[in-house]
Chain A
Amino acid sequence: MIAPNPSEKTFLVRIKRQDAESQPAYWQEFEVPVKPAQNIISVLQYIAANPTTTSGEDVEPVVWDSGCLEEVCGACTMVVDGQVRQSCSCLANEQLAKTGKDHIELEPMTKFPVVRDLFVDRQRMFDNLKKVKAWVPIDGTHDLGPGPKETPEQQEERYAYSRCMTCGCCLEACPQFTKDNTFVGAQAIAQALYFNQHETGKKLKGERLDELSGPGGVADCGNSQNCVKVCPKEIPLTQAIAKVGRQLTVHAVKNFFSAK
């Protein structure tokens, strides 16, 4: 590999590595030259091309997940210096300036099984979308005219929820969401609300609320509000949880009266 030029300014990157979910985690440190406007992904790319640690050991390149590199796909989410976020929109220089340290620490998200190194398996989030029936039950793809009209205000409210990129920041930050419980978390609850608000999506409202009234549903939320603080798309998550909570109350009353 190319020896780092001694006159070149560098910084250190500590990465928590793990060969698989069942394997123990360990840390490695790499030295990376400072470049302007360098995000964490380019840092990882540099390390992939120069996989030698500061102790001079040639190691297997670090594994990570990424896609759009524009903060819209959610793939590259990880824990940077203790904070969960997208690594593609995290600039190394700004991060160093923010923490005032000479190094950056990268860790995989802790609430999901590690596939390898910084790459985690967020299948549970997609499964939760299935649980809350996060779709509009259309009749089919035939030409049946336009969808329901909606006001610009309604559109704006729905648009806020529709930008959720299933990144999992809200779940990583949530004290109630753990690797081995069944809580669906803020993301799925907000998506349930998103579809409950749509004229056609409403048809499944009852089924969604049934799902969210049981174990793992809205009652598991401890209202700590961590989720809304870390959501990169600024989705009004706590508001969504409160609204679904109210829908649940109405739903429960209805169920009570319609019960035999």
Chain B
Amino acid sequence: MPETHPRVIVVGGGLAGLAACVRIAEAGTPVDLFSMVPVKRSHSVCAQGGINACNDVARQQGYSEWQHMDETLIGGDFLNHQPPVYEMAHFAPKIINLLDRMGVPFNRTSEGMRDLRLFGGSLFKRTHFAGASTGQQLLYALDEQTRRYEAQGKVNKYEFWEFLWPVTDEEGRCKGIIAQDMRTMEMKAFRADAVVMASGGNGLIYGKSTMSVICNGAAAARCYQAGADLGNPEMIQVHPTAIPGEDKCRLMSESARGEGGRVWVPRQQNDDRHPLDIPEEERNYFLEEKYPGYGNLVPRDIATREIFWVCQEGYGVGGENQVYLDITHLPQATKNKLAAILEIYEKFTGDDPREVPMKIFPAVHYTMGGLYTTYAPYDPETDTITPASAPKREPNQGMAFGDPKNMMTNVSGLYAFGESNYAYHGATRLGANALLSCIFDGLFNGLSVANHAQQSGAGAHGTPAAELPQSLYDKFLKQEQDKLAKITASTGSQDPYTIHRELGVEMTAAATVVKEEGRMLQAREKLAELRERYTDLKISDTGHYTNQNVSFARALGDMLVYADALLEASLARKESRGSHYRSDYPERMDEEFHNTSRVAFNAESGRPDITWEPIPSPLVPLRARTYGKTDVVEDKKTQEQEAAAS
């Protein structure tokens, strides 16, 4: 394909990346799309639950976009910026309409309207869904539209290509990337006038999570090392009930408990009897005992913490990190109702949960933090979009449409969309809001990228990429070639898979459900040790073709760097907020910490530098919360119901 300019590069072909491609190509700017996997196999396929948007039915019952925004802000414990959340909630209904026009088979009512489901205890049905595979259906619709642009030559796909590094000019503006074909191992520099990172979450830092095997966060970690800051990297969402597996943790829906499932462990440590042989009085239904009111339906964060603690104390089933989730006692009709989720359990464990209690444990599920991004708040003075006949919005109600600043990192021309963007979910993500934020980023902010690229191509931001000297690209290409050569030639003693396993175990123990200074300081030592051992790698594959061993070892280095930032920010945030729970600082402290933890990579020390950036509240004032003992449960209950994530 001949180089036409300006061009845009999109890294990642999940919902965020594909939505960006479609929007940017539509704006007339050609796109080069990079993905480690064929885009149709991106992690977004895993989402089952649904996608939130206010619609006419909900509206007539008193729900509104404003309320959707408000819930998202409370869910995020006010760590999210308000104008972008305002815009997302108000744009959401248009996204659903568009997806509908693209042919997504949304479930229907008898009248043929799109059906809605209740999600996470919200009083209003506002979650759209397509069978039990909403994420897959949405991804396919965007994949199809991208293929349409591909057939027209407006999108050029580089699948099985790994992003390695952003190319920046003398002034630090992003002007392209270095990438490698994971099959032939060919490495190349690509020019672009804007680059969008839509590379997803980083569950692999925790070893096993509910995410796909490609979600290692290395792409974002590389941008961080190249000068793009991180925002709130300490904010990680843990889901209480996942099926621990040798290879990954698969989600077990909360409906199992909703329908009467009971959580328990044997009273006796390491009791190796068959669970059904353990008599009732020798079982510890710890949630029911500690929370007689709510029992197994305690709010999600409490359930997560209690399960975690009981296992830390050595009462996990078989001495391991797992507890029983028991539905064996339920009537057949209830079991039938749960069929779809019970089959998942059976397929991947080989055990029939109707006969034997399920073994579950909390698992890392979503990355709220990520690349730090900026935006231009809506300003009626500069609004040229709203027609003269319509009323304008108040200042800060949304973002300035098309402004190149929207969701740009602190590196000019480098954008972050989707789960790799820290912007929308603050300290906890609301269920069914992730798919929304991914598609919103692509469709709404895609125009910002196209505009930036057009301006850059016209020379507004330094020299257009197409005219920059080849030597600039060669310099970064050499940097990456040298890095790869060094890894390939490693003849040390440390197996990368072992380091990765230890990293996962340490991060899971120190920085997930309950964080505490002493334990995290220990983890800091461990990470230093792992970083040290990483310099002495042993590579078992020295081949020059489809070398997954080398790709993995390289990504491991980046995971170690990101883990460091995540841990340091967790140590520095001496309060509890949303998913970030500090047992030594159990309260939310707005005075000190209603701030974004903005983390910059210090190239000299190789370590993170944290600064605290205040968060304005132009639309909704922070709500006070009481922390009286009994109120905690009450308050957390509603909060968590709103924030219930799938």
Contacts and interface: CB of A to CB of B under 8 A. Distances in A.
Interface of A: 19-20, 35-39, 41-42, 45, 48-49, 51, 58, 60-61, 63, 66-75, 88-89, 91, 93-94, 115-116, 119, 121-122, 126, 129-130, 133-138, 140-141, 143-147, 149-152, 154-155, 158-159, 162-163, 165-166, 195, 198, 200-201
Contacts of A159: 105, 130-131, 137
DSSP majority for the A interface? loop
Contacts of A195: 103
A253 B145 CA distance: 31
A233 B432 CA distance: 24
B489 to A, nearest CB: 15
B136 A165 contact: yes
Nearest to B150: A130
Max chain B CB contacts within 10 Å: which of A49, A70, A93, A163? A70
Contacts of A155: 105-108
Interface in B86-107: 94, 96-98, 100-103, 105-107
Q: Which 4 A-B pairs have the closest CB atoms?
A: A42-B246, A147-B100, A149-B112, A135-B144
A35 B344 CA distance: 19
A114 B545 CA distance: 12
Interface in B520-569: 540-543, 545-546, 548-549
A201 B212 CA distance: 31
A121 B546 CA distance: 12
25 contacts: A20-B546, A35-B246, A39-B247, A60-B541, A60-B542, A67-B37, A67-B213, A68-B41, A69-B248, A70-B250, A71-B347, A73-B41, A74-B41, A91-B350, A130-B151, A136-B102, A136-B141, A141-B23, A143-B98, A144-B97, A146-B96, A158-B105, A165-B40, A165-B45, A201-B103
Nearest to B214: A67
Contacts of A49: 495, 497-498
B540 A60 contact: yes
Given A39-B247, A67-B41, A141-B98, 8 more contacts: A42-B245, A63-B548, A146-B97, A152-B110, A154-B108, A166-B38, A166-B40, A195-B103
Given A42-B245, A126-B38, A136 B103 contact: yes
Interface residues of B, number: 69
B147 interface: yes
Nearest to A94: B350
Contacts, number: 195
Given A93-B350, A144-B97, A155-B106, A69 B212 contact: yes
Interface string B234-254: 000000000001111010000
Contact of B349 (A20, A37, A141): A37
A212 B45 CA distance: 29
B173 to A, nearest CB: 28
B46 interface: yes
A138 B99 CA distance: 10
Contacts of A70: 46, 248, 250, 344, 348
Contact of A136 (B45, B101, B347): B101
Nearest to A44: B247
Contact of B108 (A37, A72, A138, A152): A152
B136 A163 contact: yes
B136 A19 contact: no
A87 B191 CA distance: 38
B113 interface: yes
Given A48-B497, A115-B546, A130-B150, A73 B212 contact: yes
A149 B543 CA distance: 54
B34 to A, nearest CB: 16
Contacts of B267: none
A213 B105 CA distance: 27
A195 B624 CA distance: 52
B259 interface: no
Contacts of B248: 69-70
Contact of B43 (A39, A68, A147): A68
Interface in B104-157: 105-114, 130-131, 133, 136-137, 140-141, 144-145, 147-148, 150-151
B198 interface: no
Nearest to B130: A159
Contacts of B148: 133, 135, 137
B354 to A, nearest CB: 17
Contacts of A135: 103, 144-145, 147-148
B393 interface: no
B183 interface: yes
Given A39-B348, A60-B540, A143-B94, A134 B46 contact: no
A138 B145 contact: yes
